[in-house]
Structure 1
Amino acid sequence: MKTLRLLTTLVLGSGLVLACSSGEFAPPASAADRAPLYYRDPSGAPLWSAGPKKDDRGRDYLPVYDDAQALPAETKPQQAQPSRKILYYRNPMGLPDTSPVPKKDPMGMSYVPVYEGDDADDGTVKLSPGKIQRTGVKSEPVARRAIRVSVRAPGTIQLDERRVSVIAMRAESFVQKVSDVTTGTRVKAGQPLMEIYSSAVVSASAEYLATITSRTVGGVEMYGRGARQRLVNLDVPESAIAEMDRTHTAPVTIHWSAPRDGVVLERNAIEGMRANPGDVLFRIADTSVVWALVDVAERDLGNIAVGQSVAVRARSFPGRTFTGRIALVYPQVNRDTRTVRVRIELANPDAVLLPDMYVDADIDTADAAPVLAVPDSSVLDTGSRQAVLVDKGEGRFEPREVKLGRRGGGYVEVRDGLADGEAVVTSANFLIDAESNLKAALKGFAEGAPRATDAGQTMGDRK
């Protein structure tokens, strides 16, 4: 029989390729000598088995050896380094259990050796490239940026108190006629509102005309100014006094006009009615500028200051934003709601913002000066302390305690603990922190295990 030269290739589960130049197959020594630690799901799901098995689709679970568990399946496994000293053996499932000698757990899985140099003594955590890739660790350099702290508060629209005028009689009067003006009508400054007859006004008008037309009374100029002041005190409109100066005639009725541009909020004047001193006949408000009174939570009061820009959105106009500035922070805290009232001045040229309308204010408290800031996701907050993981490169991560400041826009200010340009972990940092805590616990067990073993041997020798 002729000898055939065959080239046979065997592909093992660990990814190694063996070639033989003869007709006989050479058995893989590594696969025969090594025992798998456990078997993992072929799809990468977090499922394991102590012995061989198949998944729901009939695929064999993949064996994991002690030198291949830290790398992905498609990556060539690292060869064991016998020159390195084994410190101890740790539980293959990550439990806080170590052994100074090789052993198996109750499931038959071999304990994993921990070599000298795997645990750094400088406080850093070292991860293999495969673990970094699987867990999705991401880092971002620390940089200076403006922290945008947005404070949101609800409120209502109110009239500007300085832009409201009241027309009231200062002497007993009678309403002769009322113009075609009703509640809600927009009026202009100087527009006639009503005609008033008042005996007190008529008497003061006649006295004023007598002083400006007489040339026989001494001190006419001083006396005339006094008579005019009496008309002013009776709140006679300036236009009516100017008409007396021009015609030198005392009118029987006085035309009362609007003192400002605005909207008639209240009309109590009725033709033929009698008005007593102090009775309000008209109330007019200028709505070109209004106030937004919002209630800011007490915890946000430190970020609020007069002059800050505010974006106000009315619930009646969801797609529109009104811009204003904080004019006043009221010096009192509501004891029931623990809020502080803030006044915002808003331009209202088209008069769409109405009194008592509900609004939502977004106060921009951004500081122009940039500060050292890191993403919110990079901070590990235990309540009593805050820390970040600094990426030192080559898979090494250093936990570092920091002092934080303001938060906003997805970033938090770092006041102490970091330098500009350092990289911090922004993703999977909780997994690295758990790895750090696990290694610290395992190290403590390992330091106590040899002493316990020595003590046991000593007791045995004594027996």
Structure 2
Amino acid sequence: MKRIALTGLALAAVVAAGAGGYWAGIRGLPVAGLREWLGVEATLAAAEPTATGAVIYYQDPDGKPAYAATPRQTEDGRAFRAVRASEDVSFEDKPPATVATSPAGPRRVLYYRNPMGLPDTSPTPKKDSMGMDYIPVHEGEDDGGSVVRVSLGKLQRTGVRSELAARRVVGRLVRVPGMVQLDERRISVVATRSDAFVNEVASVTTGDRVTKGQVLLRLYSPDIAAAGAQFLSDLNSGGRDSAVGGARQRLENLGLPPEAIAEIERTRKVPLSMTWRAPRDGVVLERNVVDGMKAAPGDVLFRLADISTIWVLADVPEFDLGAVRLGAPVTIRVRSLPGRTFEGRVSLIYPQVGEATRATRVRIEIANPGGVLLPNMYAEVEIGTGDTAPVIAVPDSAVIDTGTRQVVIIDRGEGRFEPREVKIGLRGEGFTEIREGIAEGDRVVVAANFLIDAESNLKAALRGLTPAEAQP
């Protein structure tokens, strides 16, 4: 622009002098001024550096944002300006043109490396096939280890961010499906131990709730009647205690309730129909008896279940099984009761893994107030995992997991980073436990760490590809 402005001033002077007075105007200038006027453009042209390297692209001659990969002309016929490698814009942080100095003097150049990152170095300055200068590596810039140096400008552009490794409680929720089931210990069956004929069944049906001692049915059993008569005979004759005790034992063996035996002993009479009562509070799950039917020994007449406490059986995948502990807190939700949760704890981890599902069944015992949870309901189970003791942990984004190893990037300050292989533990709530590799207070990179890891891997790969005799 300076060159164009000075040329314009010269043309203006010629026009002002006129075609006939040009030499007169020149003669009117002092000799020193004429020399200064003639040397301005030459001085400015000498001050501008000469472009070197291969032609990268072509730009509009007026500096407009118009570019071309091949030679091109403007609409008025002017050729685009060729931009060479030394003139191209670079986003890398370049050192100043002056020689870097330190209190001890200028730093010594160790070698020159390929500008494109290829495994090629040179002890003297040189250019690559595209005309780009090799980059000098000064003393102290190459430590030969695993530390990666990144310029401060590049750190700001890539968004590298780091945090301190600290102690915290790491836990997570294992979310698995479950099924509501009856507590096996709270199921009872009403059955006879001898042949019997049902005289009358109470007005109780499947699904009804019954209380302990409630009358379920009346039946006649010849075996019970005979045993009752023998028991009554021993009582009336004042027999020995052993004889009375034997008759009582026979009645108990036939399943006669203690209150029925006490009734025979009190009234000194064997009733024709024996009363059978509910052995517990609960819900009638099955009713398999009707008036007048004959019941064989062992036939299930009623099946009752207490649902005040119920089980939830959840299938935990094999890979999550190691995080589940006995007594772990559990939160349960069912679809039929939106917004309502039930709390419980893991009471048993079954000792086998399903061959088809590769999951292990876990049992949770929970209270069932009002009996709102019914058998075979689908449940959504959240099992809490982790220890209450704090451990060294870092954000999940700080861990680079390749599948075979886990790496974190240690921020050593001043643009220096060191990859560190670690052993991880539990993950949860956005944090990962670190069991080996780093200590509390170490600063780890949590953002853009993949870029630093890539540079570290590239550095190691280039060292491995470079022959021993070519390494600096």
Could you tell me which residue of structure 2 aligns to residue 332 of structure 1?
A: 352
1:136 aligned onto 2:184: no
Query: Any idea what SS the aligned residue of 2:213 has?
Result: coil
Q: Provide the C-alpha distance between the structure 2 equivalents of 1:35 and 1:446, rounded to a whole number of angstroms.
A: 34
Contact 1:389 1:424 in 2 (8 A): yes
Separation (CA, whole Å) in 1 of partners of 2:239 and 2:173: 71
Letter paired with 1:235: G
Q: Which residue of 1 aligns with 2:48?
A: 32
Aligned CA RMSD, in angstroms, stands at 3.6
Deviations 1:397-430 (A, max 9, x none): 1122222333333333222221111111111111
The 5 A counterparts of 1:236-275 are 236-275=256-295
- Kept after mapping to 1: 8 A contact 2:119/2:463: no
Identity within the alignment, %:
54
Structure 2 residue 227 is matched with structure 1 residue 204: yes
After superposition, what is the alpha-carbon deviation per residue over 1:418-451, rounded to whole angstroms, capped at 9, x for unaligned? 1111111111111011122334455675985588
Q: Tell me which residue corresponds to 1:115.
A: 138
Aligned to 1:398: 418
CA contact (8 A) 1:153 1:360 kept: yes
Distance 1:151 1:36 in 2: 63
Structure 1 unaligned blocks of 5 or more: 1-23, 39-48, 72-76, 452-463
Q: Is 2:250 the counterpart of 1:230?
A: yes
Amino acid at match of 2:203: D
Larger Rg: 2
Q: What is the aligned length?
A: 408
Q: In 2, distance between residues paired with 1:89 and 1:398? A: 23
Partner of 1:178: 201
- The equivalent residue for 2:379 is 359
CA positional deviation for 1:268: 0.6
Is 1:165 aligned to 2:185, yes or no?
A: no
Contact 1:120 1:126 (8 Å CA) reproduced:
no
Q: Residue in 1 aligned with 2:297?
A: 277
Deviation by residue 1:361-388 (Cα, 9 ceiling, x = unmatched): 3322211222222222222333433322
* CA–CA separation in structure 1 for the residues paired with 2:343 and 2:59: 67
| Contact 2:56 2:88 (8 Å CA) reproduced | no
Cα distance in structure 2, aligned partners of 1:67 and 1:115: 24
Could you report, residue by residue, the CA deviation over 1:9-28 in whole angstroms, capped at 9, with x for unpaired residues?
xxxxxxxxxxxxxxx99998
CA distance in 2 between counterparts of 1:36 and 1:181 reads 103
Contact 1:90/1:442 (CA < 8 Å) preserved in 2? no
CA contact (8 A) 1:404 1:414 kept: yes
Deviation at 1:102, TM superposition (A): 4.7
2:179 is aligned to 156
Amino acid at match of 1:130: G
What amino acid maps onto 2:151 in structure 1? S
Instruction: Write the distance in 2 (CA, Å) between the matches of 1:435 and 1:297.
Output: 38
Amino acid across the alignment from 1:80: A
| Structure 2 Cα separation of the partners of residues 420 and 202 of structure 1 | 82
Q: 1:186 to 1:95 in 2, by over 3 A?
A: farther
Deviation for aligned residue 1:334: 3.0
Single out whichever of 428-437 and 367-376 deviates more from structure 2. Answer: 367-376
Aligned to 1:18: none
- Going from structure 1 to structure 2, the CA distance change for 1:398 and 1:66 (only over 3 Å counts) comes to farther
Alignment partner, residue 15 of structure 1: none
In 1, distance between residues paired with 2:90 and 2:232?
113
CA distance in 2, matches of 1:440, 1:251: 97
Cα deviation, residue 92, structure 1: 4.2
Offset, 1:260: 0.8
2:453 corresponds to: 433
Where 2:356 maps in the other structure, the secondary structure is: coil
Output the CA distance in 1 between the equivalents of 2:188 and 2:356: 34
The equivalent of 1:79 in structure 2 is 96
* Contact in 1 for aligned 2:121/2:471 (Cα 8 Å): no
* Partners of 1:144 and 1:370 within 8 A in 2: yes
Task: Name the amino acid aligned to 1:272.
Answer: G
Aligned to 2:91: 69
Q: After superposition, what is the alpha-carbon deviation per residue over 1:176-234, rounded to whole angstroms, capped at 9, x for unaligned?
A: 1112211111111111111212222233334434444x3x52434x4433333333222
What secondary structure does 2:219 align onto? strand
| 2:387 corresponds to 1:381 | no
Tell me which amino acid in the other structure corresponds to 2:442. E
Q: Normalising by structure 2, what TM-score?
A: 0.74
Mapped partners of 2:47, 2:113: distance in 1: 23
Instruction: Give the structure 1 partner of residue 238 of structure 2.
Output: 217
| Secondary structure, counterpart of 2:311 in structure 1 | strand
Q: Which amino acid aligns with 1:217?
A: G
Separation in structure 2 between the aligned mates of residue 30 and residue 376 of structure 1, nearest angstrom: 57
Q: CA deviation at 1:94?
A: 4.3
1:420 alignment partner, SS class: coil
Alignment check: 8 A CA contact 2:53 2:130 kept: no
Mean Cα deviation higher: 436-445 or 413-422: 436-445
1:187 corresponds to which of 206, 210, 213 = 210
SS where residue 134 of structure 1 aligns? helix
Structure 1 residue corresponding to 2:147, chosen from 124, 128, 133: 124
Look up the equivalent residue of 2:180 and give its one-letter code.
I
Residue 171 to residue 218, structure 1, CA distance change in 2 (3 Å): closer
1:50 aligned counterpart, secondary structure: strand
Per-residue deviation, 1:317: 4.2
- Relative to structure 1, is the Cα distance of residues 201 and 60 closer, same or farther in structure 2, using a 3 angstrom cutoff? same
- Counterpart residue identity of residue 398, structure 1: E
Superposed displacement of residue 261, structure 1: 1.1
> What is the TM-score with the length of structure 1 in the denominator?
0.76
CA shift, 1:139, in A, is: 1.1
Distance 1:27 1:203, change over 3 A: farther
SS at match of 2:154: helix
In the alignment, structure 2 segments of 5+ residues that lack a partner are: 1-39, 68-82, 100-105
- Does the 8 A contact of 2:171 with 2:428 survive in 1? yes
TM-superposed deviation, 1:343? 2.3
Indicate whether 1:344 and 2:375 are aligned: no
- Decide whether aligned partners of structure 1 residues 306 and 418 sit closer, same or farther in structure 2, where only a CA change above 3 A counts: same
Q: Are the counterparts in 1 of residues 398 and 447 from structure 2 also a CA contact under 8 Å?
A: yes
